[in-house]
Protein backbone atom coordinates (compact mmCIF):
# COMPACT_ATOMS: atom_id res chain seq x y z
CA UNK A 1 0.00 0.00 0.00
CA UNK A 2 1.19 3.48 -0.81
CA UNK A 3 1.52 6.14 1.83
CA UNK A 4 2.27 9.81 1.19
CA UNK A 5 5.87 9.26 2.24
CA UNK A 6 6.32 6.22 0.04
CA UNK A 7 5.28 7.35 -3.36
CA UNK A 8 6.72 6.11 -6.61
CA UNK A 9 6.57 8.23 -9.72
CA UNK A 10 5.63 6.92 -13.10
CA UNK A 11 4.07 10.14 -14.27
CA UNK A 12 5.84 13.40 -13.57
CA UNK A 13 3.75 16.47 -13.03
CA UNK A 14 4.15 19.48 -15.30
CA UNK A 15 5.62 21.65 -12.53
CA UNK A 16 8.37 19.14 -11.90
CA UNK A 17 9.21 18.90 -15.61
CA UNK A 18 9.26 22.71 -15.98
CA UNK A 19 11.45 23.06 -12.87
CA UNK A 20 13.94 20.55 -14.27
CA UNK A 21 14.14 22.30 -17.64
CA UNK A 22 14.60 25.68 -15.89
CA UNK A 23 17.45 24.33 -13.78
CA UNK A 24 19.16 22.88 -16.88
CA UNK A 25 18.83 26.20 -18.73
CA UNK A 26 20.05 28.18 -15.70
CA UNK A 27 22.99 25.80 -15.23
CA UNK A 28 24.15 26.25 -18.84
CA UNK A 29 23.74 30.03 -18.69
CA UNK A 30 25.70 30.15 -15.44
CA UNK A 31 28.75 28.67 -17.15
CA UNK A 32 28.18 30.69 -20.30
CA UNK A 33 27.09 27.82 -22.56
CA UNK A 34 24.51 28.79 -25.13
CA UNK A 35 21.17 27.03 -24.84
CA UNK A 36 20.53 26.11 -28.46
CA UNK A 37 17.28 24.64 -29.78
CA UNK A 38 18.93 21.20 -29.96
CA UNK A 39 20.13 21.38 -26.36
CA UNK A 40 16.74 22.54 -25.19
CA UNK A 41 15.12 19.53 -26.87
CA UNK A 42 17.63 17.24 -25.15
CA UNK A 43 16.75 18.88 -21.81
CA UNK A 44 13.07 18.37 -22.57
CA UNK A 45 13.51 14.71 -23.43
CA UNK A 46 15.46 14.07 -20.24
CA UNK A 47 13.25 16.16 -17.97
CA UNK A 48 10.17 14.31 -19.24
CA UNK A 49 11.62 10.92 -18.46
CA UNK A 50 10.99 8.93 -15.33
CA UNK A 51 12.75 6.00 -16.94
CA UNK A 52 16.47 6.79 -16.43
CA UNK A 53 17.27 6.64 -20.12
CA UNK A 54 20.63 5.72 -21.59
CA UNK A 55 22.14 8.11 -24.18
CA UNK A 56 20.78 6.15 -27.16
CA UNK A 57 17.27 6.34 -25.76
CA UNK A 58 17.56 10.12 -25.26
CA UNK A 59 18.90 10.36 -28.81
CA UNK A 60 16.02 8.36 -30.30
CA UNK A 61 13.49 10.50 -28.42
CA UNK A 62 14.99 13.84 -29.49
CA UNK A 63 15.43 12.68 -33.08
CA UNK A 64 11.66 12.35 -33.43
CA UNK A 65 11.42 16.14 -33.02
CA UNK A 66 14.86 17.18 -34.31
CA UNK A 67 15.83 14.82 -37.16
CA UNK A 68 19.21 16.56 -37.66
CA UNK A 69 20.47 15.89 -34.12
CA UNK A 70 23.62 13.76 -33.76
CA UNK A 71 24.33 11.17 -31.09
CA UNK A 72 27.55 13.06 -30.38
CA UNK A 73 25.61 16.23 -29.52
CA UNK A 74 23.41 14.21 -27.18
CA UNK A 75 26.47 12.67 -25.47
CA UNK A 76 28.19 16.02 -25.06
CA UNK A 77 25.08 17.72 -23.69
CA UNK A 78 24.48 14.90 -21.21
CA UNK A 79 28.13 15.03 -20.11
CA UNK A 80 27.84 18.80 -19.53
CA UNK A 81 24.74 18.26 -17.40
CA UNK A 82 26.66 15.68 -15.34
CA UNK A 83 29.61 18.08 -14.94
CA UNK A 84 27.23 20.81 -13.77
CA UNK A 85 25.71 18.30 -11.30
CA UNK A 86 22.28 18.81 -12.85
CA UNK A 87 21.85 15.12 -13.53
CA UNK A 88 23.53 12.05 -12.09
CA UNK A 89 24.81 8.86 -13.63
CA UNK A 90 23.66 5.44 -12.54
CA UNK A 91 25.93 2.45 -12.77
CA UNK A 92 29.63 2.45 -13.48
CA UNK A 93 29.87 0.54 -16.74
CA UNK A 94 30.32 3.15 -19.44
CA UNK A 95 28.35 1.35 -22.12
CA UNK A 96 25.33 0.89 -19.88
CA UNK A 97 25.37 4.36 -18.39
CA UNK A 98 21.98 5.83 -17.55
CA UNK A 99 21.11 9.38 -16.60
CA UNK A 100 18.89 10.55 -13.80
CA UNK A 101 17.15 13.94 -13.99
CA UNK A 102 15.86 13.56 -10.46
CA UNK A 103 18.48 14.91 -8.05
CA UNK A 104 16.33 14.92 -4.93
CA UNK A 105 17.01 12.03 -2.51
CA UNK A 106 15.41 8.89 -3.87
CA UNK A 107 15.90 5.21 -4.48
CA UNK A 108 15.49 2.84 -7.39
CA UNK A 109 13.65 -0.23 -8.43
CA UNK A 110 15.57 -1.96 -11.23
CA UNK A 111 14.18 -4.81 -13.32
CA UNK A 112 16.97 -7.34 -13.83
CA UNK A 113 15.44 -8.54 -17.09
CA UNK A 114 14.47 -5.45 -19.11
CA UNK A 115 16.40 -2.83 -17.15
CA UNK A 116 13.33 -0.71 -16.32
CA UNK A 117 14.42 1.72 -13.61
CA UNK A 118 11.96 3.72 -11.54
CA UNK A 119 12.32 6.13 -8.63
CA UNK A 120 10.79 5.59 -5.25
CA UNK A 121 10.95 7.66 -2.09
CA UNK A 122 11.46 6.52 1.48
CA UNK A 123 12.76 8.87 4.16
CA UNK A 124 14.12 6.04 6.25
CA UNK A 125 16.40 4.96 3.39
CA UNK A 126 17.66 8.56 2.97
CA UNK A 127 19.18 8.36 6.42
CA UNK A 128 20.65 4.87 6.51
CA UNK A 129 23.35 4.38 9.08
CA UNK A 130 26.54 3.57 7.24
CA UNK A 131 28.62 0.75 8.75
CA UNK A 132 32.16 1.61 9.82
CA UNK A 133 33.53 -0.83 7.26
CA UNK A 134 32.27 1.48 4.46
CA UNK A 135 33.72 4.58 6.06
CA UNK A 136 37.09 2.83 6.04
CA UNK A 137 36.83 2.76 2.23
CA UNK A 138 36.24 6.47 1.80
CA UNK A 139 34.05 9.43 2.68
CA UNK A 140 30.34 8.76 2.23
CA UNK A 141 28.42 11.61 0.59
CA UNK A 142 25.10 9.88 0.15
CA UNK A 143 23.36 6.55 -0.04
CA UNK A 144 20.85 5.10 -2.38
CA UNK A 145 18.95 1.85 -2.18
CA UNK A 146 18.53 -0.24 -5.30
CA UNK A 147 15.74 -2.79 -5.11
CA UNK A 148 16.20 -5.40 -7.83
CA UNK A 149 13.73 -7.84 -9.24
CA UNK A 150 11.28 -8.34 -12.07
CA UNK A 151 8.97 -5.53 -13.15
CA UNK A 152 5.25 -6.22 -13.49
CA UNK A 153 5.53 -6.48 -17.28
CA UNK A 154 8.37 -8.99 -17.11
CA UNK A 155 6.48 -11.05 -14.54
CA UNK A 156 3.69 -11.29 -17.13
CA UNK A 157 6.26 -12.13 -19.83
CA UNK A 158 5.66 -8.87 -21.71
CA UNK A 159 8.84 -6.93 -20.85
CA UNK A 160 11.26 -5.93 -23.56
CA UNK A 161 14.62 -7.67 -23.59
CA UNK A 162 17.49 -5.70 -22.07
CA UNK A 163 19.75 -4.09 -24.70
ZN1 LIG B 1 11.16 -5.77 -16.71
ZN1 LIG C 1 16.29 8.07 -10.14
Whether the model clears a pTM of 0.75, i.e. scores above it, the answer is no
Q: How far apart are CA 67 and CA 59, in angstroms?
A: 10
Give the Å distance between the CA of 37 and the centre of ligand 2: 26
The pLDDT tens digits for 21-49 are 999 999 999 999 999 999 999 999 999 98
CB 120 within 8 A of CB 8: yes
CA distances from 113 to 119, 145, 150, 154, 156 (A): 17, 19, 7, 7, 12
The pLDDT tens digits for 136-149 are 888 888 888 999 88
Q: Please give the DSSP secondary-structure letter assigned to residue 8.
A: B
Give the Å distance between the CA of 70 and the centre of ligand 2: 25
Give the Å distance between the CA of 102 and the centre of ligand 2: 6
Q: Which chain residues have CB less than 5 Å from ligand 1, an ion?
A: 111, 113-114, 116, 151, 154, 159
Amino acid sequence: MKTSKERHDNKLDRDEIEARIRSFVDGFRRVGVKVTHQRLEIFRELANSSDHPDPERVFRGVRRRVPTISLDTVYRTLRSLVDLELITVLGSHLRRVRFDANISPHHHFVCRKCGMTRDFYNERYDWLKIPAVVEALGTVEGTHVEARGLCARCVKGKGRQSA
